[in-house]
């Protein structure tokens, strides 16, 4: 039988070429039936692995913020919170303070859908939780404005951490409140807040 390669290659060279072709054919067959992963499969596996690693890192290093101390700029980094919602959260923080995570639902513009999306980014420090609200209006149950503590102030409806701190700092400056109207000198305490505070604060004897 005539072999056209005999004029171009020696017998040994023909054997080597035959072996190479057999190896290539065998490799293609194994790859076709899934025994040898192709480069595309390798890429898919690597992408899946990288995604798992990324998700793990995100879970491990996710930052959570204390609702009573979080800053406006920090809120803007959270998906689902824009400038309007960030300001509303800060306003609620200043006016009332957060006692529970669910208090986010009381913030203007935050409904159940948004709450579910952002709640994982927040917590409420234990010292701010379950503080009793004083509803008695008799003087014997009111706090003396000249001795009231930070913890007692933030237990009052309408007083958040910032206002409580402002009241204490102002008291330190003037040494002692001599009349309740002096509360109006504090930034953030208007007529409405002042009237509310009269139910919980007084000047002791």
pLDDT, tens only, 157-180: 778 888 999 999 999 999 999 999
Is the pLDDT reported for residue 115 higher than 80? yes
Query: Predicted confidence band at 32 (pLDDT cuts at 50, 70, 90)?
Result: low
How much is the pLDDT for 131?
A: 41
* 40-80 per-position pLDDT tens digit: 545 555 555 555 554 554 454 567 888 988 888 889 888 88
- Helix (H) / strand (E) containing 123: strand 122-123
Domains contained in the chain, CATH given: 11-61 (no CATH), 65-128 (1.10.150.320), 139-202 (1.10.150.320)
Distance in angstroms (rounded) separating the CA atoms of residues 3 and 6: 6
Distance in angstroms (rounded) separating the CA atoms of residues 18 and 157: 90
What is the model's pTM?
0.40
Token readout for 130 is 């379950």
């Amino acid at each position: 039988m005539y072999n056209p390669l005999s004029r171009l290659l020696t017998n040994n060279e023909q054997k080597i070429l035959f072996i190479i072709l057999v190896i290539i054919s065998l490799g293609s067959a194994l790859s076709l039936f899934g025994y040898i992963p192709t480069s595309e499969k390798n890429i898919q596996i690597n992408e899946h692995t990288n995604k798992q690693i990324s998700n793990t890192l995100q879970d491990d290093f996710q930052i959570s913020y204390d609702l009573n101390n979080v800053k406006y700029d920090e809120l803007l980094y959270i998906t689902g919170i824009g400038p309007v919602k960030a300001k509303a959260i800060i306003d609620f923080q200043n006016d009332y303070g957060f006692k529970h995570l669910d208090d986010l639902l009381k913030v203007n513009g935050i409904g159940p859908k948004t709450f579910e999306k952002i709640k994982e980014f927040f917590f409420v420090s234990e010292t701010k939780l379950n503080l009793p609200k004083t509803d008695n209006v008799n003087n014997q149950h009111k706090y003396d404005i000249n001795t009231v503590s930070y913890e007692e102030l933030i237990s009052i409806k309408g007083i958040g951490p910032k206002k409580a701190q402002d009241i204490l700092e102002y008291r330190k400056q003037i040494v002692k409140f001599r009349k309740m109207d002096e509360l109006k000198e504090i930034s953030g305490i208007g007529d409405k807040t002042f009237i509310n505070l009269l139910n919980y604060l007084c000047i002791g004897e």
